Amino acid sequence: MDHEREAAEAEPPSSGAALARPVFPTTVKERERTAAFPQSERARAFRRRHFPQASAEDWNDWRWQLRQRIRDLAGLERIFRLSADEREAVARQTGPLPVGITPYYASLFSDVDASQPLRRTHIPVGDEYLRMPGESDDPLGEDHDAAVPGLVHRYPDRVLFLTTGFCSTYCRYCTRSRMVGGGGEYTFNLAQWQRAIDYIAAHPQIRDVLLSGGDPLTIATDKLEWLLSRLRAIKHVEFLRIGTKVPLVLPQRVTRDLVRMLRRYHPLWMSLHVTHPDELTPEVAESTARLADAGIPLGSQTVLLRGINDDIDTMRRMMHALLKLRVKPYYLYQCDPITGSSHFRTPVETGLAIIRGLRGHTTGYAVPHFVIDAPGGGGKVPLLPDYVVGRDGDDLLLRNFEGQLYRYHDPALTCASA
């Protein structure tokens, strides 16, 4: 797919046209609303330096942000001093998982330091082209568990609804790198959506639908409402969830109109893909406040990444900051073994050490579940440090957060066997 065309104007929801492309036209009324969105001093300085023709209103228009995404070597070199490794890797890139970075998100990157955490997650390096043992293009077996195209039915009572292959930014460790950004055999259109809706309607055990992609919040508001309204009309669907990184990388997308629409479809929950404390800017404080004020419970999902967020201090700062934004830390993921991701992956013990460094040392609200999404479709497997040491007769032996041992009288097994 021509990536210049992925930002083309989409058809209305009744047309059956591809739904992977956002809609860009904006009205005067909409531009007046977006002008009120906050801009940090860092963002203003970045805009003046690299987009001098753009007004503050342009910058706050999420569709302008999408149109101006940095998508190729020339665009990157205009803003960043690339390392030789970065330059070669970008020049080699073809197929799915293109380069794509919104101007807003790029303003958070170092323009000279290739090791800066957020920059490392979005600008390719040569290690991306290495395939290590255990890696695959679909490590979670989603294609195998697809009941119909784009609908993964792995757990008994819930489904994963892949709505689009479009993201406003492309993380280099993306679990669905095989399908995002165009290319490959995956298509997303109204007919595919309708097949998924029909499947959900025909299976009354499904009570929970998670919309993901790509990123559902890049879909035009009217199309997203079309989908939410039809899912909400299915009586056995009890609640809906949206998985998204947009409030972090394109916070201007969280317009008043979008929020008013979303609140019509409660109970609606949202999982935010959060990577590093540097993402938690004044703009993100605004986007999350708008969602939380609309009654949408917010949880975070963080991928554990080597040299980026794999230390206790970084993780603690991020979890504390999220709580202040009314975002509950939910999952800490071991990095999935997607092809070309070995340079991001840590030993599992690193994640366990982080949980040990959080549990008991801060509020329980700030401690996410550390999980491995089992390869081949095994689902999420929670991992915990060894808090249960063993048994001594009727006593359970426990280790607390300080490493001290305690006895808990627990004769239940003895009584049950009597």
pLDDT band at 144 (very low <50, low <70, confident <90, very high): confident
Per the omega criterion (within 30 degrees of 0), is the bond before 134 cis? Answer: no
Instruction: Indicate if the pLDDT at residue 376 is higher than 90.
Output: no
Task: Write the pLDDT tens digit of every residue in 42-56.
Answer: 999 999 999 999 999
Sheet (strand 379-383) strand order? 146-148, 151-155, 158-162, 208-212, 239-244, 268-273, 298-304, 327-334, 369-374, 379-383
Average pLDDT, the chain: 89
Instruction: Indicate if the pLDDT at residue 95 is higher than 90.
Output: no
User: What average pLDDT score do residues 248-276 get?
Assistant: 98
Catalytic residue at 129?
Answer: no
Catalytic residue at 415?
Answer: no
Min mean pLDDT across 18-22, 81-85, 302-306 is at 18-22
What one-letter code names the amino acid at 360? G
Task: Write the pLDDT tens digit of every residue in 356-366.
Answer: 999 999 999 99
Q: So what CATH class is 146-383?
A: alpha beta
pLDDT band at 25 (very low <50, low <70, confident <90, very high): very low
Q: What is the pLDDT of residue 6?
A: 40
Question: What secondary structure does DSSP assign to 5-39, as a single string?
Answer: GGGSPPPPTTS--B-SS------HHHHHHHTTS--
Three-state DSSP class for 152?
strand
Q: Annotated catalytic residue: which of 155, 207, 230, 394?
A: 155
User: What average pLDDT score do residues 16-34 get?
Assistant: 45
Q: What is the C-alpha to C-alpha distance for residues 224 and 259, in angstroms, rounded to an integer?
A: 12
> Which helix (H) or strand (E) element contains residue 303?
strand 298-304
Catalytic residue at 78?
Answer: no
Min mean pLDDT across 24-28, 63-67, 235-239, 381-385 is at 24-28
Q: Annotated catalytic residue: which of 63, 71, 158, 245?
A: 158
Catalytic residue at 174?
Answer: yes
Instruction: Indicate if the pLDDT at residue 81 is higher than 80.
Output: yes
Instruction: Indicate if the pLDDT at residue 10 is higher than 70.
Output: no
Q: Annotated catalytic residue: which of 278, 380, 394, 410?
A: 380
Q: Annotated catalytic residue: which of 176, 290, 316, 356?
A: 176
Q: Annotated catalytic residue: which of 104, 138, 167, 241?
A: 167
Q: What is the pLDDT of residue 23?
A: 42
Q: Annotated catalytic residue: which of 119, 154, 172, 232?
A: 154
Catalytic residue at 399?
Answer: no
pLDDT band at 9 (very low <50, low <70, confident <90, very high): very low
Catalytic residue at 333?
Answer: no
User: pTM for this one?
Assistant: 0.88
What is the C-alpha R_g of the chain? 22
Catalytic residue at 155?
Answer: yes
Task: Write the pLDDT tens digit of every residue in 278-300.
Answer: 999 999 999 999 999 999 999 99
C-alpha neighbours within 13 Å on the C-beta side of residue 151: 21
Three-state DSSP class for 398?
strand
Percent of the chain with pLDDT over 90: 75
Q: Annotated catalytic residue: which of 174, 310, 331, 335?
A: 174
Q: What is the C-alpha to C-alpha distance for residues 142 and 376, in angstroms, rounded to an integer?
A: 8
pLDDT band at 413 (very low <50, low <70, confident <90, very high): low
Instruction: Indicate if the pLDDT at residue 368 is higher than 60.
Output: yes
Task: Write the pLDDT tens digit of every residue in 341-356.
Answer: 999 999 999 999 999 9
Task: Write the pLDDT tens digit of every residue in 119-136.
Answer: 999 999 999 999 999 888
Instruction: Indicate if the pLDDT at residue 33 is higher than 70.
Output: no
Catalytic residue at 61?
Answer: no
CA pseudo-torsion sign 110, 113, 117, 122: positive
Is the pLDDT higher at 10 or at 214? 214
Q: What is the pLDDT of residue 184?
A: 55
Task: Write the pLDDT tens digit of every residue in 97-125.
Answer: 999 999 999 999 999 999 999 999 999 99
Domain with CATH 3.20.20.70 in the chain: 146-383
Question: What secondary structure does DSSP assign to 131-142, as a single string?
Answer: --TT-BSSTT-T
pLDDT band at 28 (very low <50, low <70, confident <90, very high): very low
Three-state DSSP class for 301?
strand
Min mean pLDDT across 142-146, 228-232, 267-271, 338-342 is at 142-146
Instruction: Indicate if the pLDDT at residue 175 is higher than 60.
Output: yes
Are 188 and 165 within 8 A, CB to CB? yes
